[in-house]
A = this chain, B = another copy of it.
Amino acid sequence: MDETDELLSIRAAELYYEENKTQDEIGQALRLTRWKVGRLLAQAKQRGFIRIEILHPRARRLPIERRLREERGLDDAIVVSSAGVSSADELQARTAQAAADYLTALRPVPRTLGVSWGRTLFEISQHLRSGWATGVNVVQINGGVSLNRRAGTAAATAVAMAQKGGGNATLLPSPAILEHLATKEAIESDRVVAGVIELARSADAYLFSAGPADHSSVHIESGYLTDADVDLLVQKGAVGDVVGRYIDSDGNIVDPALDARTVGLTLEELREGRLRIAVIAGQSKHPVADAVVRSGLCSVLVTDEATALHLLDG
Contacts and interface: CB of A to CB of B under 8 A. Distances in A.
A54 B17 contact: yes
Interface string A46-73: 0011111111101111110000000000
Contacts of A53: 50-53
A52 B41 CA distance: 14
Nearest to A54: B13
A242 B9 CA distance: 36
A19 B62 contact: yes
Interface in A22-51: 44, 48-51
Given A18-B63, A62-B14, A63-B18, A52 B55 contact: no
A181 interface: no
Nearest to A66: B19
Contacts of A192: none
A50 B59 CA distance: 10
Contacts of A7: 58
Most chain B beta-carbon neighbours within 10 Å: one of A10, A51, A55, A56: A56
A37 B55 CA distance: 18
Contacts of A44: 54
Contact of A55 (B15, B49, B58, B83): B49
A48 to B, nearest CB: 7
A300 B69 CA distance: 53
A54 B14 CA distance: 7
A61 B19 CA distance: 10
A44 to B, nearest CB: 8
A13 B61 CA distance: 11
B60 A14 contact: yes
Contacts of A13: 54, 59
Interface in A90-125: none
Contacts of A59: 10, 13-14, 49
Interface in A72-91: 83
A62 B55 CA distance: 22
B61 A18 contact: yes
Nearest to A18: B62
A53 to B, nearest CB: 5
A257 to B, nearest CB: 47
A44 B54 CA distance: 9
Contacts of A19: 62-63
A51 B55 contact: yes
29 contacts: A7-B58, A10-B54, A10-B56, A10-B59, A13-B54, A13-B59, A14-B54, A14-B59, A14-B60, A14-B61, A14-B62, A15-B62, A17-B54, A18-B52, A18-B54, A18-B62, A19-B62, A44-B54, A49-B54, A49-B55, A49-B56, A49-B59, A50-B53, A50-B54, A50-B55, A51-B54, A52-B52, A52-B53, A53-B53
Interface of A: 7, 10, 13-15, 17-19, 44, 48-56, 58-63, 83
